[in-house]
Structure 1
Amino acid sequence: MDQSLGMDDPCPNNLQGVPGYLFLTLLNTLMGAKCPLGSPEPYQEDYGPKLVDGEEFDFIVIGSGSAGSVVANKLSENENWKVLVLEAGGYPSATSDIPSLLFSVQGTDEDWIYTPEPSEKSCLGMKDGKCRWPRGKVLGGSSSMNALLYVRGNKRDYDEWARMGNVGWDWETVLHHFKSFERLETEDMQNSGQYGKNGFLPLTRYDSGVPIADTIREAAELHNYQTIPEENPLNPLGYMNIVNSISHGIRANSAKAFLGSVKERSNLLVALQSFVKKVIIDKKSRIAKGVEVAIGSKTLKLYAKKEIIVCAGAVNSPQLLMLSGVGPKKHLEAMGIDVIEHLPVGKNLQDHVVFLGVILTLDQNAIKTQKHLNLIDNIYEYLVHRSGDLAGIALTNLLGFVNTRNDSIYPNIQYHHLLYPPGDTYLLPTVSKAMGYNEDVAKSKSEYNQKHPMLEIVPTLLSPKSKGEILLRTDDPFEKPIIQSGYFTEEEDIDVLLTGIRFAEKLVESAPFKKHNPKFVKPNLPKCDELKFRSDEYWKCAMRHLATTVYHPVGTCKMGPENDGTSVVNSRLKVHGFRNLRVVDASIMPKIVSGNTQAATMMIGHKAGVMITEDWATKREEL
């Protein structure tokens, strides 16, 4: 039952006649305004209940996230190809649709709720010594729960992929794919030339309007980092309000943009609550024949005439390959799994680490006036007009790209920013829960925030040297895999992140910040208390406690030449040793890009769709 229908009227009978009619009209308007949120209407009808054992398709796409939705869209352009998308989760919720509530989706049934293994080197300030790794278990995958930041990375990222032996992944080539699926909607950017205008993914931009945003930009300019109008992959240093995958105040997840927008295609089918247990592979012929998928209490076998395309993400894709007999020989044998192909699946795990310990209290003049912070006004503005604070992600859309060592035009640190109003009862507790802070850390942050606005300047390590690994826990597909994050296993990462903290300190100590009376405060980290606050030793200790994921795991099915011994797929994303099995998602990145990974993952999906279409159109090889 809708809880909103159980409201009690605290003052019955005080509105009669025309005033009563106007009041009821307002209520009806508000009730109707929430209907589009969390609605399945923008998506395909769930085909899952109609699936039958032995059913055959041309392509089976496993996962509907930032890559899976895009590649399925591209393949279904051919009306003669029957494409099935299998998604383990359901439709996105209303919470997912509202941009500002992104942290509230974590820990729900739309999240796989992963936690890496404890380590003495990282996540010591989290409950049980474990960081939280949310990943989307929902239509749209992690694009239905991320921060909606659309960052391509820079030219060097992709040119380096090409230099590693991946032909066709250089910047000039991939730029075409980016622009093919982008649809820039912000009017004042139409002449920029940086983004595509006719694709499926809507991109918009806004200004948070908080005074501290101007202050950050002013301070950065004093240190030679200009405010730039939009992301420029050729000259990527500076601060900007990045574009977001938001349209008319609602999250534009990948499934809505790339699947729902073409739901009239009868050859494109999407099955929800469909958990793929393994890929069925003929060991002798090296042909991926189909999949075993659990739907409710039933397990079906579904078959693909052309290809199986694994788009389950950097955690689930390697898990699924290993369960299917593709992976490190010794590990699979230890799990009791018949080895079909020995490949370094699960290796090369990379992630952007963020440090959540640069915390400031500020004066009230750093934020909007109390009038603008009125929750009821914000809710009304959002429900009726799809605008206001709930329609964005506040200050989080302000990003800074900095080279703290001044040795390149390319950044080594990216800055995110989190701003909490005084006495914040929503965002700060929600972030603390999502990040998994232990009680000491969460309580200390809350206490600092009681009377003052609080700002977190969040340095992000863009090119980590440390690497982790995904391993099977058992041969049970429903068991969560072992995630070894690898954070700070290379000391150089600590040193570079420290330079990111020092640059943030310089910004705060510069003249523009003085009007806000900034004060550095330290979270409650007993093991670091004996160290001098803000010394190198203190910051390194704090990093071991409070550095965590920024939700960008990649690399576990690495793309590269077959003879390099470290890769899983070739440059056309075919798994080495197989003729019709591909991996298409962030796991194929040989090296993580210098920015948020959603855009690059969508590009991978689009490029894969084009390559698969080319392969079958030209019949370059017998499949």
Structure 2
Amino acid sequence: MAAGLLAVITGAIKAATLLLGVGKVAFIPTLIVALAYYNYDLMDPENQPRVARVLRKEYDFIIVGGGSAGSVLANRLTEVPEWNVLLLEAGGYETEITDVPILSLYLHKSKYDWKYRTQPQDSACQAMVDKRCCWTRGKVLGGSSVLNTMLYIRGNRRDFDQWESFGNYGWGWDDVLPYFKKSEDQRNPYLARNTKYHSTGGYLTVQDAPFNTPLGVAFLQAGEEMGYDIVDVNGAQQTGFAFYQYTMRRGTRCSAAKAFIRPIRSRKNLDIALWSHATKVLTDPETKRAYGVEFIREGKRQVIFAQKEVILSAGAINSPQLMMLSGIGPSKHLEEVGIKVVHDAPGVGQNLQDHIAVGGLAFLIDHEISLVMSRLVNINSALRYAITEDGPLTSSVGLEAVAFISTKYANASDDWPDMEFMLTSSSTNSDGGTHVKNAHGLTNEFYNEVFGRINNKDVFGVFPMMLRPKSRGFVKLKSANPLDYPIMVHNYLTHPDDVDVLREGVKAAVAFGETATMRRFGARFHSKPVPNCKHIPLFTDDYWNCAIRQYTMTIYHMSCTAKMGTPDDPMAVVDPELRVYGVPGLRVIDASIMPTITNGNINAPVIMIAEKGADLIKQQWLSKV
């Protein structure tokens, strides 16, 4: 055990040094040593999934992408002992750093991130470097569930009933709820007793925050003051205020890889190939059937064959990119970049949807209770975290409560809100202009002008997030080179209705800070006008219409780029069983297949899609036996 413990400590400190830089965060080595000592059972290197050094020439199934969906599929498909499965992932392992909830923003633009940036557009992200939004995506086993803020939000029943109304049989709320419950191990005893909506014993641990500031309870009280109910947002009613539910376990991140891959790491019928970058799906020139995958591993091109299916679970950017590289996509575009068309699929890469919020809505307070990093991230909190598995390091960057509300553009009598408030005991200024600014890609000029005077001040934040955008972006190839990043066009706020909804959300957020509950903390809105909008009177509709285009925050919910639909929909890429139209033997199972984005953070729906997708595969192939 001593040798293993030493290896953990040495490797973790090395990872922290590479990630954060020597001396930038002095408490990190202490944190890692303490974690290794007190949590050896979790940090034992033997607990990591093993990488297959030698691969078979053929597998029953090849899964491309080891993220949230791919991890679930690898688990569920290998439940059939006679099936052999290969999981290809372009990144490597999670580390002890990725486990610590408060450090998630440190992972942005690290080696665990693809570091995508969108094309510059005047419609949004004007405060970002080169006017380009930063699209953080996980390049690691576990995918973006290793980098996200661990928020467990299933969405609204009307989202899924709408999918079904489009002709996608089997995707209504009553159909998908069992798959949400199948994964779940709910640790809140009150919620766990509500067996209609929750369950225990699944692979994915869902729990309440181990640590809250006094602001957390106040957020809910302010919601009641505004006339809203306190609800379980994953239960019978979404509209209202609630504490967040998190994919956490014992105070640490419960990524999809930790939940679904580690427990089955000894299954003989699963091979995992990390640092393996898929470059092409191989198809038969006559039948168009997918029969294998080409990928780069250790600098060498390799080909592996699939006897039954190739499954793309690479996410809403990489799955359509890989399809287009393989000749499956809009024929005109493929011809433009010199790729031979295998199947003309106009919808591949189109219909891109994402959730955006307005960043930087900060409210100064008079009490030292918020998550000011320079005060809370220290050796004492590191030891508390390692020994008792709680304290400020278990905080998901200050996210404490959530609210789902309806603006005047939604039907308030219908429980299908159009705005989500992410309520935080921190804001952009809480780390003194270091990691948050960098993660969001803000220019130094914008940050210094808007937040410079309140660096490290006590604040709370409201991030109003628009739930059902009408604007649509797209992804297309830059070239036929599979190592070139695709061209990503967000088109945020290009539909006028989105401008109206997001503006009303901002106005409601400011009103939230004016409640008597929040006033008791001395709350006052940080009303520094943002650059490019200073010529417009503050608090007017025209000012907010300008301001929302400045600090436009993606919530990293890219989706819908290979939409599920019926054969008569020319933009549908997959059928309701997630099979790619026109290409037998190929499925897409990830956020790409959503016809429309769900009402909330999308990690839980992606895991549900994979759970259901695995059953669809079993139903097809096991019925033939």
Query: TM-score when scaled to structure 2?
Result: 0.91
Q: Does 1:339 align with 2:341?
A: yes
- The amino acid that maps onto 2:131 is G
Q: 1:484 — aligned with what?
A: 489
Distance in 2, matches of 1:154 and 1:409, equals: 8
Whichever residue aligns with residue 50 of structure 1, its letter is: V
The one-character-per-residue Cα deviations of 1:45-84 (angstroms, maximum 9, x if unpaired) are 011x3236xx100000000111111112111100000001
User: How far off is 1:502 after superposition?
Assistant: 1.3
Q: Once the 2 structures are TM-superposed, how far is the Cα of residue 334 of structure 1 from its aligned partner?
A: 0.3
Residue aligning to 1:282 = 284
CA offset digits 1:11-66 (Å, max 9, x no partner): xxxxxxxxxxxxxx99986662476677653332011x3236xx100000000111
Note closer, same or farther for the CA distance 1:393–1:550 as it changes in structure 2 (3 Å cut).
same
1:8 match:
none
After superposition, the C-alpha distances for 1:79-122 in whole angstroms (9 at most, x for unaligned) are 00000100000001222111111111110111000001000111
Alpha-carbon contact 1:96-1:102 (below 8 Å) kept: yes
Question: In structure 1, the residue corresponding to 2:237 is in which secondary structure?
Answer: coil
Structure 1 segment 217-256 matched on structure 2, within 5 A: 217-228=220-231, 230-256=232-258
Alignment match, 1:594:
599
Secondary structure (helix, strand or coil) at the match of 2:549 reads: helix
Is contact 1:448-1:454 (8 Å) kept? Answer: no
Matches within 5 A, 1:260-299: 260-299=262-301
SS of structure 2 residue aligned to 1:457: strand
Q: Find 1:127's aligned residue among 115, 126, 129.
A: 129
Correspondence for 2:20: none
- 1:75 maps to 2:77: yes
Aligned position for 2:613: 608
Cα–Cα, structure 1 residues 207 and 95, in superposed 2: closer, same or farther, change >3 Å?
closer
Q: In the aligned structure 1, how far is the partner of 2:282 from the partner of 2:605?
A: 29
Partners of 2:539 and 2:183 lie apart in 1 by 45
Q: Note the C-alpha offset of 1:374.
A: 6.6
Determine the structure 2 residue equivalent to 1:539. Answer: 544
1:101 counterpart = 2:113: no
Q: 1:500 to 1:581 in 2, by over 3 A?
A: same
Structure 2 partner of 1:200:
203
Q: Which amino acid aligns with 2:479?
A: T
Aligned partners of 1:312, 1:45: CA distance in 2, in Å?
A: 20
Q: 1:29–1:584: structure 2 CA closer, same or farther, 3 Å change rule?
A: closer
Which residue is equivalent to 2:54? 50
Give, in angstroms, the shift of residue 288 of structure 1. Answer: 0.5
1:278 shift after superposition: 0.3
Instruction: Please give the alpha-carbon distance, in whole angstroms, between the structure 2 residues aligned to 1:313 and 1:374.
Output: 33
Residues 298 and 522 (structure 1), Cα distance of their counterparts in 2 relative to 1, 3 Å cut? same
Partner SS for 2:404 = strand
Task: Say if 1:100 and 1:61 are closer, same or farther in 2 by CA, change over 3 A.
Answer: same
The alpha carbon displacement at 1:572 in A equals 0.3
Residue 378 of structure 2 corresponds to which residue in structure 1? 375
Contact 1:152 1:597 (8 Å CA) reproduced:
yes
- The one-letter code sitting in structure 1 at the alignment partner of 2:422 is H
Instruction: Say which SS state the counterpart of residue 601 (structure 1) adopts.
Output: helix
Paired with 1:4 and 1:312, the residues of 2 have a C-alpha distance of 30
Structure 2 letter corresponding to 1:170 = G
Q: In structure 2, do the counterparts of structure 1 residues 38 and 552 end up closer, same or farther at CA, with 3 Å as the change threshold? A: farther
- Distance across 2 between alignment mates of 1:27 and 1:271: 27
Q: Deviations over 1:318-338 (max 9, x none)?
A: 000000000000000001000
Contact 1:105-1:145 within 8 A present in 2 as well: yes
Structure 1 position 452 matched with structure 2 position 454: no
Tell me, in whole angstroms, the C-alpha distance in 2 between the residues paired with 1:421 and 1:473.
36
Cα distance, 1:2 vs. partner?
Answer: 6.9
How many residues in Structure 1 have an aligned counterpart in Structure 2? 596
Give the conservation status (yes or no) of the 8 Å contact 2:427–2:461: no
Output the CA distance in 1 between the equivalents of 2:253 and 2:428: 27
**Which of 502, 508, 519 is 2:507 aligned to?**
502
The amino acid that maps onto 1:404 is T
Write out aligned runs for 1:32-47 (5 A).
32-33=37-38, 40-47=45-52
Q: After superposing the two structures, state which structure 1 stretch, 177-186 or 336-345, moved more.
A: 177-186
Residue of structure 2 equivalent to 1:182: 184
**Is residue 418 of structure 2 the alignment partner of residue 418 of structure 1?**
no
Counterpart check, 1:114 vs 2:116 = yes
Deviations for 1:324-381, whole angstroms, at most 9, x for unmatched residues? 0000000000010000111120000000011114222111165489999472221111
The CA distance in 1 between the partners of 2:182 and 2:11, in whole Å, is: 41
CA offsets 1:467-525 (integer angstroms, 9 cap, x no match)? 00000000000000000001011011010011111111221122112222222224563
User: What is the distance in 1 between the residues matched to 2:134 and 2:153?
Assistant: 23
CA deviations over 1:568-620 (Å, ceiling 9, x no partner):
00000000012210000000000000000000000000001000000011239
Counterpart-to-counterpart distance in 2, 1:104 and 1:383 = 19
User: In the alignment, what sits opposite 1:359?
Assistant: 362
Which sections of structure 1, spanning at least 5 residues, go unmatched? 6-24
Q: Which residue of 2 aligns with 1:22?
A: none
1:431, distance to aligned residue in structure 2 (A): 1.2
1: distance between equivalents of 2:559 and 2:325?
19
Distance 1:617 1:118, change over 3 A: same
d(CA) in 1 for partners of 2:559, 2:291:
27
Q: 1:65 aligns with which of 56, 64, 67?
A: 67
CA distance in 1, matches of 2:284, 2:337: 20
Q: Answer whether contact 2:316 2:561 (CA < 8 A) is retained.
A: yes
Aligned to 1:574: 579
Check 1:85–1:421 CA distance in 2 against 1; reply closer, same or farther (3 A cut). closer
Indicate the SS of the match to 1:90: coil
Shift of 1:283: 2.2
Q: CA, structure 1 residues 179+102, in 2 after alignment: closer, same or farther (shift >3 Å)?
A: same
Structure 1 residue 534: deviation in Å? 1.8
1:254-282 CA distance string (max 9 Å, x none): 11111111112110111100000100011
Contact 1:420–1:449 (8 Å) recurs in 2: no
Counterpart CA distance in 1 for 2:449 and 2:459 is 12
Deviations for 1:427-470, whole angstroms, at most 9, x for unmatched residues? x5211110001112222454243463122210000000000000
What value does the CA root-mean-square deviation take over the aligned residues? Answer: 2.4
Q: Deviations over 1:298-328 (max 9, x none)?
A: 1111000000000000000000000000000
| Per-residue deviation, 1:538 | 1.3
Distance 1:477 1:421 in 2: 38
The answer for the alignment partner of 2:18 in structure 1 is none
Q: Tell me how far apart the structure 2 counterparts of residues 511 and 41 of structure 1 sit (CA, whole Å).
A: 53
**Residue 20 of structure 1 aligns with which residue?**
none
Instruction: Decide whether the 8 Å contact of 1:461 with 1:496 is kept in 2.
Output: yes
Q: Residue 120 of structure 1 aligns to which amino acid in structure 2? A: D
Specify the SS of the correspondent of 2:568.
helix
Name structure 2 gaps, 5 residues minimum: 1-9, 15-29
2:560 paired residue among 555, 568, 588: 555
Q: What is the CA–CA distance in structure 1 between the aligned matches of 2:281 and 2:238, rounded to whole Å?
A: 41
Look up the SS of the partner of 2:587 in the other structure. Answer: strand
Structure showing greater radius of gyration is 1
CA shift at 1:4, angstroms?
Answer: 6.8
Aligned residue for 1:516, secondary structure, equals coil
Are 2:468 and 2:597, in contact at CA under 8 Å, matched by a contact in 1? yes
Asked whether the 8 Å contact 1:83–1:267 carries over to 2, the reply is yes
Post-superposition CA distance 1:513-562 (Å, at most 9, x none): 22222222245633111111221111111111111210100000000012
